[in-house]
Chain A
Amino acid sequence: MRVPILTGAVLLLVGLHAGAVPAALAPPVPLPGWATKEAPLRYTPEDLYEYIDGAAEAFIDADFRELISQEYEAPGGRSLTVDLYRHADPACAFGIYSQERPRQGAFLPLGVQGYYERGILNFVKGDTYVKLAAFGLGDTDRQGLLEAATAVAARIQGETRMPKLFQAFPAEGKVAGSERHLRRNALGYPFLERAFVADYSIGGKKLSLWILAPGDEAGAKTVLATYLKSQGTPDVPAPGTPLTLQDRHHGTLTILRSGAHVVILLGDAGPGARLLLEGVRQGLPAL
């Protein structure tokens, strides 16, 4: 072990501001054709703001744990930055990725999913959201980024599929690429957490389906009761029974509790709403 060899003062330095984050420094990922420029920088929730300014808030809301940022360089003035954002769990990492990715486009089969735009390539794998930004690659921009991203992905352990709860979303009518996750403040309410969301287009109507996963049945009961109370509806329906109401901010909304989950359909889907919710309800127990 290295730590005991360090001097007392250095131990003090290392120990300072430890917070809840492990103190490991990630070694730079070796990338063929690239040389590391400087030692990697590490940011935590307390100072992420210094790196990405106001965007830090969204990352912290998604249970961001640490960022390792490494710069690389190559002949011809080419440069590459690889940012590894590690979150509390794969759902949170997918969540922040899903907030930043384009809604449409050709996604890359890299990790869970990724996408390329000129000069950047972002993807998510396991609990890590990876962002690559290149400069000066010219015609080799896409290929260069893809090669680097593939090498980075190979070094990251973790899930390569979307969070399991997305399997409960009925396929019919679902808008491709609309899956996203919000760790907190779902629908703008602080008591609605761990939301898995997808958009639907049914009969020409735009809807969005939310599955909240507070962890257990008691949590789901509390979430439902708190939400209904906030809307002035104190009567909590029986499990599995959908209730349609007018949310004061969002308009027509149908809500039901199914085991440890609360399901919300936003929008006026008419009879289709109940069918959609029933489809979710049937899919949830298997997960």
Chain B
Amino acid sequence: MIDRRGFLRSGTVGLAALGVAPQLLPAEEQKAAPPPEPPRAPAPARRTLGRTGITLPVVSMGVMNADNPSLVRAALDGGIVHFDTAHGYQRGRNEEMLGEVFKTVKRDSFTVATKVVPPGADRSTGLFGPETKAEPFVEMFHLSLKRLQTDHVDILLLHNATRREGVLFEPILKAMQRLKKEGKARFIGVSTHGNEPEVIRAAVESKVLDVVLTAYNFRQAHHAEVLTACREASRAGLGIVAMKTQAGGRFSKDNPKPVNMKAALKWALQDPCVTTAIPGFTTFDQLAEDLVVLKDLQLTDAERLDLAGATKSAGLYCQQCETCVPQCPRGLPIPDLMRGYMYAAGYRNLLHAKDLVESLSLAEAPCSSCTGCSVHCVQGFEVRPRIEELLSLRRVQDAFLA
């Protein structure tokens, strides 16, 4: 939609394109033209966080790596309202630092989310065992409140869920509901940066969770699926917060050029179902860059190009989407092989890579009967050369790889 200023600007351009300069207009028309408006900063974009009804600027602060109260104050001064921390960040010092700032400002001038991992969570499976009980989870949350110097948080999140079963684990779910009822957490939810679509859908299924904090960025091979799940959750009334919006950019093996962080942040905010994002920053310059996005969400052509360039480098991490499997006429277990390639080329763990290859019981040269490769990896991996390099490990004795 074009605004008044845009209309005037395009109108002028249109006249110029027709060869009509403004000074050539009749005098009365020149008089009738309104005076130019003084430059005015656009208002920060705000969105509503689902059924919570909380309205937030689209840019919030992921406090995780910040150890600087002045930076938090500067963020508040710059228009950031929402702050995301966790019980475990910096072994609690992150919450303590925030608490020192929060005690100096009005409680209704900010919102805060914290996250708690229940003791006994198995990181590798994303499941909880019999050791996982509600009491220690609640105790940890109370300690978080104490560190934050507040009697309630706005959002309490189950930290780092990766499985439906984890989200729906009844003892923790009930404990969170109880804390909400007691007013210690205004709203409850879940955070996820693995297997996100399943987790997001489980949050909807729970019928009691209000918010999802999810990894979502332009580099995720499955970002479309994450967005679909976010839209479903949003339609069901959940609020969506995006994290890791610039993730991987700085750390890609194949692309030493830093990602355009501002562009990446804008990208994650293009769909209105994402209420806000929580980029992390540790300098005032980085804060200033993110504050620009707060008032200008429009991706420029140059920014789009930057992101397109950054996605061309595929990296080493196979997302295990298995799209490639039916494409291979030999039915090779390509996701396993790409995992093995990552062990070898990424982790330099050649023995581990060889063990994996041998466990797959493949033919001597499985790709040799194909003249070309019909597999098109959605991440852009050159599948065949990687397989051939990896399989050559079988010819090397273990002693040389250990």
Contacts and interface: CB of A to CB of B under 8 A. Distances in A.
B91 A101 contact: yes
Nearest to B397: A5
B68 interface: yes
Interface string A46-71: 11111001111110110000000000
Nearest to A71: B124
A199 B302 CA distance: 45
A60 B65 CA distance: 11
Interface stretch (B225-233, B241-249, B324-332, B366-374): B241-249
Contact of B352 (A12, A27, A39, A58): A39
A25 B251 contact: no
A40 B91 contact: no
Interface in A9-49: 9-10, 12-14, 16-17, 19, 23, 25, 27, 38-49
Contact of A54 (B74, B280, B284, B316): B280
A45 B90 CA distance: 20
B193 interface: yes
Contact of B283 (A6, A12, A185): A185
A250 interface: yes
Interface in B84-102: 90-93, 96
Interface stretch (B31-39, B45-53, B201-209, B339-347): B339-347
A54 B244 contact: yes
A57 B280 contact: yes
B65 A54 contact: yes
B349 A61 contact: no
Contacts of B352: 38-39, 41
A272 interface: no
B393 A10 contact: yes
Interface stretch (B167-175, B262-270, B384-392): B384-392
B220 interface: no
A261 B165 CA distance: 55
B34 to A, nearest CB: 38
Interface centre among B317, B345, B395, by most chain A C-beta atoms within 10 angstroms, is: B345
B284 A17 contact: no
Interface in B77-122: 90-93, 96
B350 A187 contact: no
A109 interface: no
Contact of B67 (A23, A42, A99, A102): A99
B396 A6 contact: yes
A37 B345 CA distance: 21
Interface string A120-163: 00000000000000000000000000000000000000000000
Interface in B309-358: 316-317, 341, 343-352, 355
A48 B396 contact: no
B315 to A, nearest CB: 8
Nearest to B281: A188
Given A17-B316, A188-B282, A2 B400 contact: yes
Given A25-B349, A47-B346, A249 B395 contact: no
Contact of A41 (B62, B347, B355, B402): B347
Contacts of B73: 249
A47 B251 contact: yes
A54 B66 CA distance: 12
Nearest to B388: A9
A271 interface: no
B193 A42 contact: no
Given A39-B349, A54-B64, A189 B316 contact: no
Contacts of A58: 64-65
B389 A17 contact: no
Contact of B93 (A2, A47, A103): A103
A100 B347 CA distance: 25
B71 interface: yes
A171 B81 CA distance: 39
Contacts of A6: 396, 400
A187 B73 CA distance: 13
Contacts of B345: 13, 16-17
20 contacts: A7-B392, A7-B396, A9-B392, A13-B341, A14-B348, A16-B345, A17-B346, A25-B350, A39-B349, A42-B347, A47-B347, A54-B243, A54-B280, A61-B65, A100-B90, A101-B91, A188-B70, A189-B283, A189-B284, A250-B70
Given A27-B402, A46-B252, 6 more contacts: A10-B392, A47-B317, A54-B243, A57-B282, A117-B91, A187-B68
Interface of B: 62, 64-65, 67-68, 70-71, 73-74, 90-93, 96, 193, 243-244, 247-248, 250-254, 280, 282-285, 316-317, 341, 343-352, 355, 388-390, 392-393, 395-396, 400, 402
- Sorted nearest first, the 8 A-B pairs with minimum C-beta distance are A9-B392, A46-B253, A39-B352, A16-B345, A249-B70, A42-B347, A58-B65, A17-B253
